[in-house]
Amino acid sequence: MTNPYRLLFDKGFAHVDPEKAHHLGFAGIRAAGPGLRGVARALPKRTGVRRMGLDFPSVLGLAAGFDKNAVGIDALGALGFGFVEIGTVTGEPQAGNPKPRLVRLVEDRAVVNRMGFNNDGAEVVAARLAKRARHLKPGRGPVLGVNIGKTKVVPEDAAIADYEKSTGLLAPYADYLVVNVSSPNTPGLRDLQAVAKLEPLLTAVRRRADEVTGDRRVPLLVKIAPDLSDEDVLEVADLAGAIGLDGIVATNTTIGREHLRSSPAAVEAAGAGGLSGAPLRERSLEVLRLLRSRVAPDLTLIGVGGISTAEDALERLAAGADLVQAYTAFIYEGPLWPRRVSAAIDEEHGR
């Protein structure tokens, strides 16, 4: 059966500037939020899954990048996402890279982005989350992940302090916290994935999170790139175990451009940036399997990258993911996609 949204996308949205289309679509989701939440409450309750001491209504979540500024968390949850990861949020507000900075490769069901962590900054986002927390009824809304990254103008030797600032402001409102060191769009950021630099960073973030949250321990994860070598992936896995990290998000976007269906001219025109979507599936799956072979069973793995169908999500779960995330498929498949995929996962697992 043809997906009406997919037809609408191919005939209409695909010809609108991607960043403008994102803002228009997200505005529509936020406007429909109250109605969406009412419908969601009327639907049968899922069993969900418990990881990191948190109860996830569904194993399917929305990856960071869609709601950078925490403006539509609950409306997105009402669409069927069991958890929503906001951000990436930086210590200081920043406009991001020059436009155009978001390009679709429609033949590949992929996106190239060089957004550059455009966001309102940790102070503004924290105030927004505080307001949400005051009005949120217990047990309502999706699990909230907060993804933090380095401010572009902050030099590497001040990166830890920058992450600590974001942590101090945002950890009190996060159900879990993700340290992003894997976006290709902030110069030098991926260098922080080297274990020698990553260990003191994660240790500092852990310490700061504990200082501001008291008795409530906020789970801490790191998000890594698919472009790491297998050896480097395993080193991150060993570090995660050694310092008591709660989980790893695998993976971010790739700078690779192999095995694309789009014409070389279209790929060249798309320019630099991180590639997401279906072409990322195989490598993200490989990285997940490597991690699961190395880490303890109680360390949570979130599989993300190239998940387009329920079958993709189930494959990731079978390979060792505890939770899965998507973003690009949501763009191409529309607002009914998360609930449709979540229902198919639930049916397969007998939830």
Enzyme catalytic residues = 183
Q: 3-class DSSP state for residue 143?
A: strand
Enumerate the H helices of the chain as residue ranges. 4-11, 18-31, 33-42, 73-78, 122-135, 159-170, 195-213, 230-243, 264-270, 281-294, 310-318, 328-333, 337-349
**Residues forming beta bridges with residue 104, ordered by sequence position:** 111
- For 5, half-sphere exposure in the C-beta direction (CA atoms, 13 angstrom radius) is 10
Q: How many residues does the chain have?
A: 351
Strand partners, 312: none
Phi-psi region of 57 (alpha: psi -120 to 50; beta: other; left: phi over 0): alpha
Residue linked to tokens 């210590």? 91
Reading the block at residue 234, the tokens are: 């395993």
| In contact, 204 and 160? CB cutoff 8 Å | yes
Cα-to-chain-centroid distance, residue 149? 12
